[in-house]
């Protein structure tokens, strides 16, 4: 299943961008990632076998990066 996850963070900086890059580098299910302007800061496209795997990835990302998910769209 393909998922698009939009998220926002509390601050913007080059250090924050590097933290984001490091956090997603070891997650092969994230096949594309973008930093955006506007209300959404980051867009990640994931390919996962099910919602359980997505939930585990979300928990892995939210803690160190202090992200708040804005929206999630999936296509199975």
Q: Which residue, 59, 53, 61, is CA-closest to 19?
A: 61
How many domains would you assign to the chain? 1
How high is the pLDDT of residue 70?
A: 63
How high is the pLDDT of residue 32?
A: 94
Q: What is the mean pLDDT of residues 14-41?
A: 87
Mean pLDDT of the chain: 82
The CATH number that applies at residue 22 is: 3.30.70.920
**Alpha carbon distance 27, 20 (integer Å):** 12
The band of 53, judged by pLDDT with boundaries at 50, 70 and 90, is: very high
Higher-confidence position of 65 and 11: 11
Query: Which residue range forms the structural domain that includes residue 30?
Result: 2-75
pTM for this predicted structure: 0.77
């Amino acid at each position: 299943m393909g998922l698009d996850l939009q998220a926002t963070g509390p601050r913007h900086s080059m250090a924050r961008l590097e933290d984001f890059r490091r956090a997603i580098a070891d997650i092969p299910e994230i096949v594309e990632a973008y930093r955006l302007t506007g209300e959404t800061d980051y867009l990640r496209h994931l390919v996962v076998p099910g919602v359980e795997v997505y939930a585990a990835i979300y928990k892995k990302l939210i803690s160190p990066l202090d992200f708040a998910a804005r929206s999630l769209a999936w296509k199975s």
